[in-house]
Amino acid sequence: MFQKRASALVVLLLSTTAVTLTNAPSFAATEVEIIRDNWGVPHVYADTAYGVYAGFGYSVATDRLFQMEMSKHTSLGTVSEVLGSEKLGYDIGTRADFDHADIKAQIEALPSEQRDILRGYAAGYNKRVAEVLADREHLLPKEFSDLGIEPTVWSDFDVAMIYVVTMAGRFSHYSLELDNAKVLAKLEKEHGKEKAKILFDQMYWLEDPLAPTTMPKEQEPQKKADLNTLLDGTRFSALLDKTVPGGDEARPRASNLWILGPNKTTDGSTILMNGPQFGNFNPSYVYSIGLHGGGFDLTGSTPFAVPNILFGTNGEIAWGATAGPLDVNDYYQLKLNPENPKQYWKNGAWQDMHVRSESFKVKGQADVQTDVYESDYGVVSQIDLKNNTAYAFNRSWKGKEIQTLMAWTNSTKAQNHDEWLKQAQNVATTINWYYSDKNGNIGYVSPGYLPVRQKNHDERVPALGDGTMDWTGIRPFADVPKTYNPVQGWIANWNNRSAAGSVANFEATPWGAADRVDEITALITQKDKLTPEDVWEINEKISFLDINARALLPFLLKAAEKLPSDDARLPAINILKNWDSQMVRGDNGRATSPAVAIFQGWVKVMVQKVLTAKKAVIDPTAAVNRISRATQVLRNALLGDEAGIKQEFDFFEGADKNEVMLTALTKTLAALSKEYRSDQPEAWLLPLDQHVFQTKNYRGILQTTENNKIEVGTNMNRGTQSDLITFKDGGVSVCMVTPPGQSGFIDPAGKKSKHYDDQVKLYDDFECRPQAFTRADVEKSGVETIKLTVE
């Protein structure tokens, strides 16, 4: 799995004056050393945190200048300034969500030693910008000329905003409540209030006690009592003809992870394997770095080169992360004053909204001014003057974005579990954190500021914004899900439920008895102990699976057990019996087995026949990379009384379930025969996508030109990167793959860096590259040393 190259060491001495910002404090000249390894990964050495982060910023600007410039516009809500009015709507929404003045105030309140991290990063970044602008002919990335723009200098605010929007915003700023409310209103319109409540509870449950959890359950799960809340879909009827945010498909659900303690491995090692699923992009979503000095001593990687290193080790401990599962937000429904829609009713009186003005520069046209309306519950949207309603988005973590960033950054300095957990207490956004150390300890915590909600607040739908459902505080850190050295000796997560109980509920997310984490746990538990190779190979074994197969296929195969030997459906059944659930793309661009088309076709027919035809009004998507709501609801219907959610409404309407499944198979086979113009199953090979590294970032904003899209192999349901951190015999080793490559640099003539895409084959082959931690190992792998002075 390890790849090595030999190269000569090159030393460059740089001492040009750094760009300084207006009103920025003056710092003494700081000496920085950067050693790049044979994969282009920089390892930064300096005496202070300011210097270390200056080296970080300088390296990022060297490798990813255009990507980071566009990330800055994405985060600040200034995309239309460079791309025109097409992106103005995006900018308006981003500025509404994140008040620049609020973030700046948080930065101003930081202790100097913490603010130095942001200032140092900006100073190093700006030093490289100055060098680029002084030698455009050789150093200006081609995309700048293609777009007709130039790189800009950064402030500590700009550095912080990359984290605020790409991490806090992307993974904590969301809610399913408006979409849930719209579904409830649709159900009431179609079925009446009583039946609608039954259907809603059956499809939008808060907790399925059979759902696997990351925090091990201490006892057999018990079925929960019905919710004691009054659902009223008519309250949301005005949403029926509106587009609302949310929905199960929109919820962030990125990343998988497994950790094995020394009692679970054959060689007594402790292994942390993380695959953060941010999406696949060129340049890479993640950036690898080593930071040494000023209290930091680590190697790892992080998304969008944010200051907090999300994945890595400091030699004593290692850490990782997956998307957060806690409910830290709520929508509140506001009643507007018909005489003055800038007022809303709360606590028996009309309350004034706060109005914030935003100005936008738009390429090719005059500046645009907008107003943002804010209530006690947050930013106001979905303003409906006809019905005198609006919705406000309340975030428990608002005003704590920078506190969270610094806690995360400081956690990378922790030397043991207690120090690491102490930093987690200051994380306000929702995130899953994972831990291992050189002494064989493993752990998990899901931090976040969980609101204390009123008893009559049904968190599946928006609360009343009249003062009767206000939060009464934040739950203590002791309540959040966590485990340390679980008896089973391992921890696994693939965005499944964090723990049992109300603390882990999230707005009716469809966590149920079927979950893709089962694929990981099945491989971990099939042996008493796993070799390091076994641990690594889990990744490849799960990356091509049709996740629905484990959940639904056994029902169909059992239904077919009594088919006569001459039944025309038996050839298809036998194909499914012998299928390994893998979806692999052959040289012809199609699946290597007809089972893929047969099974996926059957699932779609079942969803339509059992759910959609009964006016279930839920999203019929049966995603193959996870268990979607439609799949989970269908499976519960098949389980009947054995389901964790009470099946009060019979989706099969008394029909024999086996016959329904077999009839659906008949319909599927007929459709496939027609589609492929053949009655032979061997011809039914479904076209499969390649694995594509997109040229636009996660918000659809370009970060390189379209012609730089990269496509390889078969689409994989795996991490944007893969990192394996192993503690053994008192030492630590790191093996990572962060495709396409460390660098995104294309010179003015169109020549790409040698590290532009040199990790694509590693990734496609499920291999990884070593990433050094100790100075001795860094020097062994080093091919270039840069020394610079930053002020």
Q: Annotated active-site positions, please?
A: 255
243 Cβ contact list (under 8 Å, min separation 6):
none
Of 150, 72, 199, 94, give the one whose Cα is nearest residue 649: 199
679 in a known ligand binding site: no
477 is written with which tokens?
């850190």
Exposure class string for 186-206: b at 16+ Cβ within 10 A, else e: bbbeebeeeebbebbbbbbbb
Q: How many helices (H) and strands (E) does the chain have?
A: 22, 27
| Contact indicator for 142, 746 with CB cutoff of 8 Å | yes
Residue type, 628: S
Could you give the CA distance from residue 633 to residue 555 in angstroms, rounded to a whole number?
A: 14
Task: Cis check for the bond before 209: say yes or no (omega within 30 of 0).
Answer: no
504 is written with which tokens?
């882990």
- List Cα–Cα distances, 608 to 187, 196, 229, in angstroms: 17, 19, 31
Of 242, 243, 238, give the one whose Cα is nearest residue 387: 238
Could you give the CA distance from residue 361 to residue 73 in angstroms, rounded to a whole number?
A: 12
Tokens 């070799």, residue located: 531
Of 540, 621, 527, give the one whose Cα is nearest residue 582: 540
- List Cα–Cα distances, 750 to 68, 747, 759, in angstroms: 19, 5, 20
Q: For every residue of 248-259, which 3-state class applies, written as one string? A: HHHCCCCCEEEE
Could you give the CA distance from residue 382 to residue 177 in angstroms, rounded to a whole number?
A: 13
233 Cβ contact list (under 8 Å, min separation 6):
181, 184, 185, 186, 187, 188, 189, 193, 196, 200
Could you give the CA distance from residue 690 to residue 764 in angstroms, rounded to a whole number?
A: 11
Of 14, 193, 198, 23, give the one whose Cα is nearest residue 107: 23
Tokens 């699932």, residue located: 603
What's the full length of the chain, in residues? 791
Helix (H, G, I), strand (E, B) or coil at 160: helix
474 Cβ contact list (under 8 Å, min separation 6):
396, 449, 450, 451, 452
**Mode of pairing for the β-strands spanning 349-352 and 340-346:** antiparallel
335 is written with which tokens?
């009643």
330 in a known ligand binding site: yes
User: Mutual orientation of helices 156-163 and 100-108 as an angle, nearest 10°?
Assistant: 110
Residue ranges at the known binding site for Ca(2+) = 177, 327, 330
Which positions make up the binding site?
177, 327, 330
